[in-house]
Chains A and B, each alone.
Chain A
Amino acid sequence: MLDRTQDEISRLVEPGRVHRRVYTDSDLFELEMERIFGRAWLFVGHASQVPKPGDYITTELGRQPVIMVRHHDGSVRVLLNRCTHRGAKVVNERCGHAPRLTCLYHGWTFDTDGTLVGVPVPEGCAADFRKEEFGLARAPRVGEYRGFVFASLAASGPSFEDHIGPMKGNIDDLVDRAPDGTLAFDAGMHRYVYNGNWKLQIENVLDSYHVPFGHASTVNKQGVQFARREGDQKGAKVVEGDQTRTASTWKDRRSYIVGNGHGWTSNTALDEGKRSSPAFDEYKRVLIEKVGAARAEQILTPRLHNSLIYPNMSIMGLNIHVRVIKPIAVDRTEVNIYPVRLVGAPAAMNFGNIRLLNVTHSAASFVQTDDLEAFARAQKGLRSHGTDWVDISRGLGAEEPDRERNATRGLATHEMVVRAQYKAWAGYMHEAL
């Protein structure tokens, strides 16, 4: 049984390895929900999902149901989706519009900032009942950057700026691709689940080591992956033609860490000069018209593959999307993938992005499905007591400073990013709330 002491947590994470219990121990999972998901800055949603006052979405922060709603003063609020009376989930729909939020059970009604405004049969209330004490609980801290809404369920801790600041450039990289400089999350979402721990997903998004093996079925006889971007004639070279060695361009890719568990990997090498299609060419024309040729050239030059904003969100620069990780149990995780619409881009370009995201990241895609198989098999394998340790030592000691990016750099086939995640993990887990 876990005694939750700092000493015990410390014994789970070593410089190049972590104890298998971090994936399999349900007591540790409960502690993660309290100490990580109960206080870290978590991605909630995007402001474009609630454009008008009264618009809302419902989601989960960790396992807790929340409502993200636009209040009538124009601000975006994050409320815990739990009636203050008898505990029922107040809003059941995944998205919608309501000027007031009314609980189905006894009809308690709340304003969109959580204030309790209506209690049926008020004469039955206790003599000292005060409505102002029964508003829906609010996420104590909410922060927003370029429409990306984050919340912390703890009243104190590192500021939004401290936590998100180092990753703002990664958000900019995506948002700046929209000719109008803003994104819309209005193209639905992909939802998948797997029988595995949530950390398997966040480790995987920055893992370039697995691709030649894990995604072998997406690679042709020349070692080249299928075309994944609008306008590309073919994908990246992943393995050499002899099919036995990882391609040199793949091995040269970099990964970066900037503290707080965040990190990213550099882009896959594609033939940018040959990227062309009616949709892409028109998009490029519109972008140049809006921001000028020089800036458009910068924006269209890929730099990032996946960026992880620890602990629950990643952004992909290749098949553009935002991914949200929702732990359900120690061995069960749901993931939501939002396609993003580049506002101001031609409809055909946005369709190109949506169409290819269907085949890379839907539950029925060519890429994500093999990862899901890997997560499920990792969870099964970790039941073994053959060894208690999971190795994450690739590139240990080979990290180097990257002054230009104010980051630490390694190779993308190394495991520096995973070690950085466990450093952040231990930091949260050591400290009682």
Chain B
Amino acid sequence: METLTRAPAPPMGGVRGVDRTPFEQFILHEARLLDDRRFRDWMGLFAEDGTYWVPAVPDQKSPFDQASLFYDDRDLMKTRVERLEHPRIHVQTPPSRTAHLVGNVVVEQADETKKEFLVSSTMIMVESREDTQRLFAGRQYHCLRRDGDSFRIVQKRVDLINCDSAFEAMAVPI
């Protein structure tokens, strides 16, 4: 993370005195937008300086000097979403259907002065397309910035447990 760093062993129950409920609600909402293919609304959850990162190796230190499966800033995310809305995106003809399950939500860090929080959770996404069903699983880290009574995503990082495998085409964000 650029702002908050992952802790190898976060405190049990997360940061003391911080209620995880609003964070959990936000992350479940984010997953739901992906499952509903509301990609433009999904993109709207990101801060203007927000990034979406899926590393290509375990414990990848940086997106800047290594290949990543995804590393989108808002500009690239916009191109991605426009493509997902394009009628002739062949790899989504027919479209993928996905179901996310998110749990084990922990508020790992809180920086009240910057109003930023690092929230980790375990995710499973099942994807079905053309008689093929695939499973993606891993731990995701949301760096969230308080924005009024909700949050904006400063960075979403998804560490897939099989991130260094050879993949068939991955057309939708995880």
Chain A residues with CB under 8 Å of chain B are 187-195, 213-214, 216-218, 220, 226, 334, 336-337, 339, 341, 347, 350-351, 354-355, 357-359, 362-364, 366, 368-370, 372-374
Contacts and interface: CB of A to CB of B under 8 A. Distances in A.
A370 B68 CA distance: 19
Contact of B65 (A337, A347, A359, A363): A347
A35 to B, nearest CB: 26
B170 A369 contact: yes
Interface stretch (B1-9, B17-25, B88-96): B88-96
A58 to B, nearest CB: 14
B165 interface: yes
Contacts of A366: 79-80, 83
A302 B57 CA distance: 32
B66 A363 contact: no
Interface string B65-76: 111111110001
A363 B171 CA distance: 8
Interface of B: 54, 56-57, 60, 63-72, 76, 79-80, 82-83, 86, 88-91, 93, 164-171
Given A369-B170, A374-B90, A354 B67 contact: yes
A354 B65 contact: yes
A356 to B, nearest CB: 8
A369 B92 CA distance: 9
A359 B84 CA distance: 13
Q: Max chain B CB contacts within 10 Å: which of A218, A336, A337, A373?
A: A373
Contacts of A188: 56-57, 60, 66-67
Contacts of B165: 191
A358 B170 contact: no
Contact of B86 (A216, A336, A347, A368): A216
A190 B54 CA distance: 12
Contacts of B70: 358, 362, 364
Given A188-B57, A190-B56, A217-B89, A369 B65 contact: no
Contact of B72 (A214, A347, A359, A369): A359
A334 B167 CA distance: 9
Given A362-B67, A362-B69, A191 B169 contact: no
A194 B91 CA distance: 12
B68 A217 contact: no
B80 A362 contact: no
28 contacts: A188-B67, A189-B67, A191-B165, A192-B168, A192-B169, A217-B88, A217-B90, A334-B166, A347-B65, A351-B64, A351-B65, A357-B67, A358-B69, A358-B71, A359-B79, A359-B80, A362-B68, A362-B70, A363-B69, A363-B168, A363-B169, A364-B69, A364-B70, A369-B169, A369-B170, A369-B171, A373-B91, A373-B93
A340 to B, nearest CB: 11
A380 B139 CA distance: 36
B173 to A, nearest CB: 8
A193 B65 contact: no
Contact of B168 (A194, A216, A217, A339): A194
Contacts of B93: 373
Contact of B91 (A220, A359, A372): A372
B125 to A, nearest CB: 13
A193 B56 CA distance: 15
Nearest to A334: B166
Contacts of B83: 217-218, 366
Contact of A373 (B63, B64, B79, B90): B90
B72 to A, nearest CB: 7
Residue of A187, A220, A339, A370 with most chain B CB atoms under a 10 A cut-off? A370
Contacts of B88: 213, 216-217
Contacts of B65: 187, 341, 347, 350-351, 354
Contacts of B89: 217, 370
Contacts of A218: 79, 83
B168 A372 contact: yes
A191 B167 CA distance: 6
Q: Give 5 closest A-B pairs by Cβ, nearest first.
A: A363-B167, A191-B166, A217-B86, A217-B89, A188-B67
Contacts of A363: 69, 166-170
A213 B171 CA distance: 18
Contacts of B166: 191-193, 334, 336, 363
B172 to A, nearest CB: 9
A359 B166 CA distance: 16
A400 B61 CA distance: 51
Contacts of A374: 90
B164 to A, nearest CB: 7
A112 to B, nearest CB: 25
Nearest to B68: A358
Contact of B164 (A191, A217, A351, A368): A191
A342 to B, nearest CB: 12
Nearest to A213: B88
A310 B66 CA distance: 27
Most buried by A among B60, B72, B79, B169: B169
